[in-house]
Amino acid sequence: MRHRVFGKKLGRDIKERKSLFKNLVISLINYGKIQTTLARAKAIQGLAEKLVSKAKDGSDSALRQVSSFIARREAIDKFVKVITPRFKDRLGGYLRLRRIGKRAGDASEQVVLEWTLPDQRAEKEVKKSEIKQKESGKKT
């Protein structure tokens, strides 16, 4: 029986697992979405959502806790200044899992883990580039 058993081991010892989780969360912060297995995504989904909730608090102790988990300064800055403000009016549900099928090699379920609210600045840049392409297409 699995009474009171928490978390996924993913076939790793504690140090390997902690390193894997940190690297997956940092990649999620840097790229906005990551493609991984369903088990890994489910393992870090709650962890990443708890980090967002702590960072939304904005207190010094909460930011220290977030920075103790995320070891890279650029990732911390992006997380606190870009990602967390998107969710200021939301109480939860910061991440989305999209299933994309099975991997050919071992038939493990693959998913895309992404933030539910897109970055407003990134959308504006995409729209500006589309407008520039249309204008350049009309001139020639």
Extents of the domains making up the chain: 14-139
CA 100 to chain centre: 17
Q: Over 60: is that where the pLDDT of 106 sits?
A: yes
Question: Model pTM?
Answer: 0.80
CA 47 to chain centre: 10
The DSSP-derived string for 30-94 is HHSEEEEEHHHHHHHHHHHHHHHHHHHH--HHHHHHHHHH---HHHHHHIIIIIGGGGTT--S--
The token duo for 112 is 């895309």
The superfamily CATH assigns to domain 14-139 is Ribosomal protein L17 (3.90.1030.10)
Each residue's pLDDT tens digit, 39-82: 999 999 999 999 999 999 989 999 999 999 998 999 999 999 99
Walk across the sheet containing 95-102 and list its strands: 33-37, 109-115, 95-102
What is the pLDDT at residue 138?
Answer: 66
